[in-house]
Amino acid sequence: MLALLAVDAFLVEPYWLEVSRHEIPAPVRTPVVLAHISDLHSMGLGRREKALLAALQAERPDVIVITGDSVPDHETGVTPEPVFEVLRRLRAPLGVFAVLGNWEHWRHVAREPAFWQAAGVTLLVNEARRVRDDLWVVGIDDPLAGGPDAAASFAHVPEGAARVVLMHSPEYFDSLADTGLIVLAGHTHGGQVRVPGLRPPWLPPGCGPYVEGWYERGSSRLFVSRGVGTSIVRARFWCRPELALVTLVPDRS
């Protein structure tokens, strides 16, 4: 039995990508599909990354967003970062956007805007970009290793537009406005190794009460991804890697 559990945790589940689907009302005129990637911790174009790229190609989202920790969780001595080969293959008609996680801050190359620009990814550090007239993507720096500034992030976002907020560590959700935000985060890995029915035995600093899935505060919603890669222990149990497809639909209420 232990051998079977070990096979699942180390050889099966870390590569068994789940595509989760979510529909959220928002002040948009027509639906828009966002593919949410988090915590790749990629060493390059391997089995897990190829599964992710195949899923994205099949789903064809309108926007791809990345909520940090794309790079490995240890020094590799490789420059440029191995994840570059994955990032440069990401394509979406309305753009690919990313924020920094704690590991990008701790890796010099991966926190440089030129690295992301060369891969075709728009890095957002306490700033926002218009995706459509009715939709803005807001990127907040990681509170664990960076310097988040919510006021600067929202400074140029017009009233009435849908606001999708990207950040890495979900605990910062408690510092944001509780009106009308759709916030996407990662960092937790969903606990990575779980016991069914119990809270994960370990979560990194910066998670707060958030583990995975949806949370609400006022009219703002937070989604915490289980992420794609692994950290520290190269295993997953009862916690499959996740590519989340979040469809924003017109709010008819």
Among the listed residues 98, 83, 92, 85, the one whose alpha carbon sits nearest the alpha carbon of residue 38: 98
Q: Please, what is the average pLDDT of the chain?
A: 93
Q: How far apart are CA 21 and CA 247, in angstroms?
A: 8
Q: Check residue 75 and give its pLDDT.
A: 61
Confidence of residue 2 (pLDDT cuts 50, 70, 90): low
Whether 67 has a pLDDT exceeding 60, the answer reads: yes
How far apart CA 55 and CA 21 sit, in angstroms, is 13
For the record, the structure tokens of 228 come out as: 């794609």
Percent of the chain with pLDDT over 70: 97
Over residues 9-57, the pLDDT tens digits come to: 788 899 999 999 999 999 999 999 999 999 999 989 999 999 999 999 9
| pLDDT beyond 60 at 95 | yes
Please give the average per-residue pLDDT across 55-71, as a whole number: 97
The pLDDT assigned to 76 comes to 54
CA gap 152, 207 in Å, rounded: 23
Per-residue pLDDT at 111: 80
Between residues 111 and 46, the one the model is more confident about: 46
What global pTM score does this model have? 0.96
Could you give all domains of the chain from N- to C-terminal order, each with its CATH number? 2-250 (3.60.21)
Distance CA 35, CA 97 (A): 10
pLDDT in tens, 216-252: 999 999 999 999 999 988 899 899 999 999 999 999 8
Q: What pLDDT sits at residue 198?
A: 85
Could you tell me which residue, 64 or 113, shows the higher pLDDT? 64
- From CA 78, how far away is CA 81, in angstroms rounded? 6
H or E, element range at 24: strand 18-26
